[in-house]
Amino acid sequence: MAKPQVVVAPVLMSKLSVNAPEFYPSGYSSNYTESYEDGCEDYPTLSEYVQDFLNHLTEQPGSFETEIEQFAETLNGCVTTDDALQELVELIYQQATSIPNFSYMGARLCNYLSHHLTISPQSGNFRQLLLQRCRTEYEVKDQAAKGDEVTRKRFHAFVLFLGELYLNLEIKGTNGQVTRADILQVGLRELLNALFSNPMDDNLICAVKLLKLTGSVLEDAWKEKGKMDMEEIIQRIENVVLDANCSRDVKQMLLKLVELRSSNWGRVHATSTYREATPENDPNYFMITKRNIKNYLKERTFFQIMKKMEQIYLGLVIHTWMILMMRWTQR
């Protein structure tokens, strides 16, 4: 009998070493981290230090959690005058409204600094100066909404940044309760009015983005105060769809937004855990009350008509195609 052969597994030799240099992902700039840890003393001006950090956050947003504390501590040692605080606010505002996709990070940064910057001059603390800067842009909303393309683009960036601020800027009350800034809630309502009053495509697209971002939170806040502002906004959207000379694609976006709102902004209710809310499993699906029953009926009738028209059009197309095919086969 042949002797059984013993298979020896090959031994893999690792090339890893504890003395290997520190690994950095591609695109990571270690030079920034080294200069950043040294503080703003290595920079000619405060604005250059702040701008460098803002650019760093733009390129590597994941570093926010690990580096924001050190950044705030450094600012507390460098921002010691009214002018320096004003400059800081302006730099963050410009970055948040001029760099795509930085509005969310900018709002988070503003929230953190509003709670951790110690300087509070007579002109106002960081949050107060930030809101004053936003008010400056807010006061020209009507002119901006009907301005040229460049003006409108800058205005839209401001609108979306204000929406992010409303969601992320926390205000602590005297009893420690955290709330949102009511002044921003009022401002967003008026900004929506300005956008819908000038129903150009880009204005309407901005309104859709803003409502997708803040719609559910705004509606909850208005409901707590017994206001029907969201019903009025939905009515304005329907009027725009019916009367405005906007493009077909934009009208489709508006209709989908109204549909999203009718499903409670896509949120899952306690009555339908892990399921999408529907008229069958959620009695509050259309949120019918005595005060908004008329708008409810208008909304449902409008969409039923639109859906029925689509069905009729599709049926006519299929019917016509079948007739043509029958005639062709008969030949």
Q: What mean pLDDT value characterizes the chain?
A: 80
* Domain around 322: 300-330
Q: Is 274 inside a domain boundary?
A: no
- pLDDT beyond 90 at 287: no
- Of 198, 227, 256, the residue that ends a domain is 227
- Of 193, 210, 227, the residue that ends a domain is 227
- pLDDT beyond 70 at 300: no
- pLDDT beyond 70 at 286: no
Please compute the mean of the pLDDT values over residues 204-225 and round it to a whole number: 94
- pLDDT beyond 60 at 283: no
Q: pLDDT, tens digit, for every residue of 86-143?
A: 999 999 999 999 998 899 999 999 999 999 999 888 888 999 999 999 999 999 999 9
**14-18, 77-81, 252-256, 311-315, range with the lowest pLDDT:** 14-18
Are both 216 and 90 inside the same structural domain? Answer: yes
- pLDDT beyond 80 at 331: no
SS3 at position 179: strand
- pLDDT beyond 70 at 220: yes
Q: Is 236 inside a domain boundary?
A: no
Are both 84 and 176 inside the same structural domain? Answer: yes
- Of 212, 227, 242, the residue that ends a domain is 227
Q: Is 287 inside a domain boundary?
A: no
**DSSP one-letter string for 79-128:** --SHHHHHHHHHHHHHHHHHSTT-HHHHHHHHHHHHHH-----TT--HHH
Q: Which residue(s) pair with 179 in the sheet?
A: 171
Structure confidence at residue 319 (pLDDT) = 65
Are both 95 and 188 inside the same structural domain? Answer: yes
Structure confidence at residue 7 (pLDDT) = 54
Under the banding of pLDDT at 50, 70 and 90, the label for residue 165 is very high
- pLDDT beyond 70 at 55: yes
Q: Is 147 inside a domain boundary?
A: yes
252, two tokens = 């489709």
235, two tokens = 């009515």
Are both 212 and 325 inside the same structural domain? Answer: no
Domains contained in the chain, number: 2
CATH code of the domain covering residue 222:
1.25.40.180
Structure confidence at residue 183 (pLDDT) = 92
Can you give the pTM of this predicted structure?
A: 0.71
CA gyration radius for the chain?
A: 28
Among 20, 72, 78, which residue's Cα sits nearest to residue 45?
78
